[in-house]
Homo-oligomer: A and B are copies of this chain.
Amino acid sequence: MPGTPPGRVVWLGPTGTFSEQAMRLLPALGAGEPVHTVEDALEQVRRGEAAAALVPFENSLEGSVAGTLDSLADPDAEPLRITREVLLPVTFALLVRPGTALGDITSVSTIGPVEAQCRRWLRTELPGVPITSAPSSAAAAQAVARGEFDAALGSVIAAEHTGLAVLADGIGDRQDTVTRFVLVSRPSAAAAPTGHDRTTVVLFERDDHPGALLEMLTEFAVRGVNLTRLESRPTGEGLGSYCFAVELSGHVAEANVGEALSALRRICRHVVFLGSYPRADERLPSARRPGTTSEDFADAAAWLRALRERG
């Protein structure tokens, strides 16, 4: 199976958090093992102690997503590659000790980001009930199991490990929230294009001149490469020095993506290539700008070769 490393897989623990739920979406990889931090997970892969790490990459409620990116993007570290992505729909459950009814609840434990996403529900269903912050949604569930609070708001999976019951599910003011996790390994040849791939790179400006970002984006645009996400990040080399995490539709093996990356390699200080891999949503790319299909590139290359050889 493409993207399935034959070895130990680590993920951001503790058990009972959203990362464990994400891990279950990749059953072929087994249960894996929780580790303490994203940095731990990535270091184990870099040192060869783990074959792969599953880490939150975008919009995570737990774990520093910015930290994941900063670690992957470091141009001086051992390179890593994303080989898979997993989208975890984020919904929340109210976990209680079996037998507890909604009217019995006088205290709730949860983590800040989850509370923020459930404010309206809490106001309506548990008005006036005090909320206490926990270090993780798993820790909140454990505190409820120990009897310190009446209810925990968090991942359904936490119920399993603690014997708690799910009193309400699908809680959350915004219905479309997802957390995106990526599976990261050491470099090996990318899996063949599937037709619905994503590529992730981090671009470091050669110097901080106005318009540098525009120049980079133009390299994509002229070749009909569509971006799906863009984020500027400080490089850690002082104020005003930025790199850009860029995600795009397409695969490094495709002509337009390859030529665009090659162009960026020419004009950037560093291009950190983080991989081409299938989109979890299997969304097909939008219609390619005319003149930028792989056939167009092949035809044009043949035409140029003839001009150069025969005039």
Contacts and interface: CB of A to CB of B under 8 A. Distances in A.
Given A64-B116, A176-B237, 6 more contacts: A37-B119, A38-B116, A208-B286, A210-B286, A213-B230, A214-B214
Contact of A36 (B131, B210, B222, B290): B131
A281 interface: yes
B37 A176 contact: no
How many copies the complex holds: the figure is 4
A214 B63 CA distance: 31
A2 interface: no
B308 A253 contact: yes
Nearest to A288: B210
Interface string A289-300: 111100011011
Interface stretch (A99-107, A163-171, A186-194): A186-194
Nearest to A132: B135
Q: Top 7 A-B pairs ranked by shortest CB distance?
A: A133-B135, A266-B291, A267-B291, A187-B311, A265-B300, A262-B300, A210-B226
A223 B266 CA distance: 10
Interface residues of A, number: 91
Given A221-B214, A297-B266, A112 B64 contact: yes
Contacts of A27: none
Interface string A273-293: 101000001010010011110
A286 B239 CA distance: 13
A174 interface: yes
A188 B310 CA distance: 5
A293 to B, nearest CB: 9
Given A210-B226, A222-B218, A283-B239, A290 B304 contact: no
Contacts of A134: 135
